[in-house]
Structures are given as C-alpha cells and as structure tokens.
C-alpha cells in the first residue's frame, strides 16, 4: 500500500519533544520518513520532528504500515 503525500487543512499545534519548541501549522504534508509517519512542515530547527499536540487521535490504520526492517 502506498501512502503517498497526504495534506490536511486544519490548524494544529506541533511541539518538539527535544527542545520544547512549538509551531502552529495549518497545512501539513505527511510522509513516511525513516519508517515513521512524519509531518514535513513540522521539522524543528533542532532536527527533530515535532508532534501534533492538539489532535492526538492517531492516524487511522496508517501508522503501523512500516515494513519490518530489523537487522
Ligand atoms: Zn526541536
């Protein structure tokens, strides 16, 4: 199954777990990066990806689609 790029049009507050920076995003592009679902625009200046704090319901059946790549 190819997830592709998904765009959402809701304002959401993203927060970086590493440096506690916050960013409000109204348009987000979701991509699979390193096996995880990430929001491209939520890339923090510290290099971490921020997480959505306003609407944390998870992604419907999409988050566990990464292949098993364990060495
Ligand atoms: Zn950060």
- Is the pTM above the cut of 0.75? no
Residues 20-55: pLDDT tens digits?
999 999 888 989 988 988 899 999 999 999 988 865
Confidence of residue 8 (pLDDT cuts 50, 70, 90): very low
| CA angle, residues 63, 9, 52, in degrees to nearest 5 | 45
Q: How far is the CA of 43 from the centre of ligand 1 (A)?
A: 8
Q: How far is the CA of 38 from the centre of ligand 1 (A)?
A: 14
Q: Strands of 28-33's sheet, edge to edge?
A: 6-8, 28-33, 36-39
Q: How far is the CA of 27 from the centre of ligand 1 (A)?
A: 19
Q: How far is the CA of 1 from the centre of ligand 1 (A)?
A: 31
Q: How far is the CA of 49 from the centre of ligand 1 (A)?
A: 7
Which residues does residue 7 pair with via DSSP β-bridges, in sequence order? 29
């Amino acid at each position: 199954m190819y997830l592709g790029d998904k765009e959402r049009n809701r304002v959401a507050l993203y927060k970086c777990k590493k440096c506690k920076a916050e960013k409000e995003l109204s348009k987000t592009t979701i991509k699979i990066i390193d096996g995880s679902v990430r929001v491209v625009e939520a890339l923090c200046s510290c290099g971490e990806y921020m997480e959505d704090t306003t609407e944390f319901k998870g992604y419907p059946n999409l988050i566990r689609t990464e292949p098993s790549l364990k060495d």
